[in-house]
Amino acid sequence: MSMNVGEGGGDVSSDINVTPLVDVCLVLLIIFMVVTPMLQNGVPVELPKAKSVIDKPDDDSILQVVLDRNLTVYVRENKIGNLKSKATLDDLRRRMFKYFRDNPAEYIQIKADKNQRYGHVKHLMRLIQETGMKETTLVADEVEPPA
């Protein structure tokens, strides 16, 4: 940028002042950098890898049940409790029955941490099937093909 000093100082300059534009762009960049990590859906879980993955949309018509590495069960990001607790199982069963009564045509996605034992995931699936839900899917990340 330049500045006129001395003679002709009263003339109008036709140069564009880009300083405010740069300031606005930097503020927007910082906002996006802060907000983007918060946009992640659901409870953070390290998913297992699978070779054949079918894409199903993540929308509000899908009930997501999450089993994290500590055996904590979440339904739609609402913490229910630990899978080993009898009170938690009764609460989970009640919530599932209520959900399916209100939304009979929906299906469930189970997101289980990759470090969970198969028996825990199977126990959760059996509990969900007791509610009468027919379609239950397991969520996994796709294995990257070798280069």
Predicted local distance difference test score (pLDDT) of residue 30? 93
- The answer to whether the predicted template modeling score (pTM) of the entire model surpasses 0.85 is no
Dump pLDDT digits (tens) for 47-60. 777 776 666 666 66
Residue 71 · residue 99 · CB < 8 Å: no
Q: What is the pLDDT of residue 54?
A: 67
What is the reported pLDDT for 23? 95
49-142: CATH number: 3.30.420
Parts of the chain with a pLDDT under 50: none
SS3 14: coil
CB atoms within 10 A of CB 75: 17
pLDDT at 97: 80
- Res 21: pLDDT: 92
The answer to whether the beta carbons of residues 94 and 135 sit under 8 Å apart is: no
- Assigned token pair, 94: 């009640």
Residue 67: strand pairing partners: 73, 112
- The residues pairing with 93 across neighbouring beta strands, listed in sequence order, are none
